[in-house]
């Protein structure tokens, strides 16, 4: 254990103020205070005036010579000594001295060291993630949005080609079905012309709606291929009926 002394020179003209402080630290006791030959040499003082000692009961301030030594508002006379507490101040003539005990730093256990290291690395990781979110994430999101738009563009092209092929292979003999297929063909042509002009300028929402519309057309075409609206009816046997009428009229 060591001690620390903070020393200030009192201003006699303005007793409520003091000059700059001087801090001294000692690891061995006793510590003498006074003239140039003492451990704490105070300018203007002569000889050993005070002594800081330690025993099993604690620290003590002892007056070593006739001088003005005041502790806890009580003046000490040689060879009187009084107990000195941590943070307590005393006055030696024109000097105010504050006494502090300095305890040895306790070594941390490996658990405490691990916890401290984990906290440091955790904070560093959070800072790196924040830096990533501020600098790199917007660019990655923009790039991902670009590639998603390109993928939707390719899906629209593939869907249009598939619908065009379905309409070319349509061979329904039902006139209603044929008319509906022709209407879908015209709509597909209009959408194809629009895509050629504005495909690169379309937003993701517009491309999504285009895909939904093309999927709806595909569903309708599949339903038309699997059914007939009116069906194919057999032709009436008119020739047989005409022969029967002629024969009945020719009989007497």
Q: Does domain 2-102 have CATH number 2.60.200.20?
A: yes
Per-residue confidence (pLDDT) for residue 96, from 0 to 100: 92
Per-residue confidence (pLDDT) for residue 251, from 0 to 100: 63
Question: Per the structure block, which two tokens stand in for 34?
Answer: 């006074």
Q: How many CB atoms lie within 10 A of CB 71?
A: 23
Taking only the tens place, the pLDDT of each residue in 13-72 is: 555 455 678 899 998 989 999 999 999 999 999 999 999 999 888 999 999 998 899 998
How far, in Å, CA of 185 to CA of 99, rounded? 100
Per-residue confidence (pLDDT) for residue 95, from 0 to 100: 92
Question: Per the structure block, which two tokens stand in for 132?
Answer: 């990533």
Phi-psi region of 145 (alpha: psi -120 to 50; beta: other; left: phi over 0): alpha
pLDDT along the chain (252 residues), means of 10: 88 58 90 93 92 91 91 90 92 92 72 82 89 70 63 82 82 77 84 81 82 86 68 59 68 59
Residue whose structure tokens are 């009436």? 236
Phi, psi of 127 (to 5 degrees): -65, -40
How far, in Å, CA of 182 to CA of 89, rounded? 106
Per-residue confidence (pLDDT) for residue 238, from 0 to 100: 60
Per-residue confidence (pLDDT) for residue 231, from 0 to 100: 52
* Closest to 158 (Cα-Cα) out of 200, 192, 128, 116: 192
Going from N- to C-terminal start, the domains of the chain cover 2-102, 151-225
Per-residue confidence (pLDDT) for residue 175, from 0 to 100: 78
17's enclosing H/E stretch is none
How far, in Å, CA of 64 to CA of 75, rounded? 13
Per-residue confidence (pLDDT) for residue 189, from 0 to 100: 85
How far, in Å, CA of 83 to CA of 57, rounded? 9
Residue whose structure tokens are 């984990």? 118
How far, in Å, CA of 92 to CA of 98, rounded? 11
On whether the pTM is more than 0.75, the answer is no
Q: How many CB atoms lie within 10 A of CB 32?
A: 19
Per-residue confidence (pLDDT) for residue 203, from 0 to 100: 79
Per-residue confidence (pLDDT) for residue 141, from 0 to 100: 61
* Closest to 174 (Cα-Cα) out of 237, 224, 235, 234: 224
CA end-to-end span of the chain: 153
């Amino acid at each position: 254990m060591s001690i620390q002394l903070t020393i200030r020179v009192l201003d006699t003209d303005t007793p409520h103020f003091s000059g700059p402080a001087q801090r001294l630290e000692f690891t061995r006791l006793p510590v003498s205070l006074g003239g140039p030959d003492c451990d704490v040499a105070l300018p203007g003082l002569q000889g050993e005036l005070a002594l800081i000692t330690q025993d099993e009961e604690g620290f003590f301030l002892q007056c070593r010579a006739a001088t003005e030594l005041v502790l806890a508002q009580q003046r000490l006379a040689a060879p009187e000594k009084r107990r000195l507490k941590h943070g307590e101040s005393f006055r030696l003539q024109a000097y105010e001295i504050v006494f502090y005990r300095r305890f040895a730093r306790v070594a941390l256990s490996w658990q405490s060291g691990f916890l401290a290291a984990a906290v440091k690395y955790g904070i560093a990781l959070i800072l790196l993630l924040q830096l990533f979110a501020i600098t790199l994430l917007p660019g990655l999101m923009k790039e991902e949005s670009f590639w998603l738009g390109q993928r939707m563009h390719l899906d629209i092209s593939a869907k249009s080609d598939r619908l065009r092929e379905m309409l070319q292979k349509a061979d329904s003999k039902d006139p209603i079905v044929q008319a509906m297929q022709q209407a879908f063909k015209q709509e597909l042509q209009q959408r194809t012309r629009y895509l050629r002009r504005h495909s690169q300028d379309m937003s993701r929402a517009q491309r999504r709606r285009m895909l939904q519309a093309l999927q709806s057309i595909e569903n309708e075409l599949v339903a038309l291929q699997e059914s007939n609206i009116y069906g194919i009816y057999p032709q009436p046997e008119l020739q047989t009926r005409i022969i029967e009428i002629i024969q009945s009229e020719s009989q007497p």
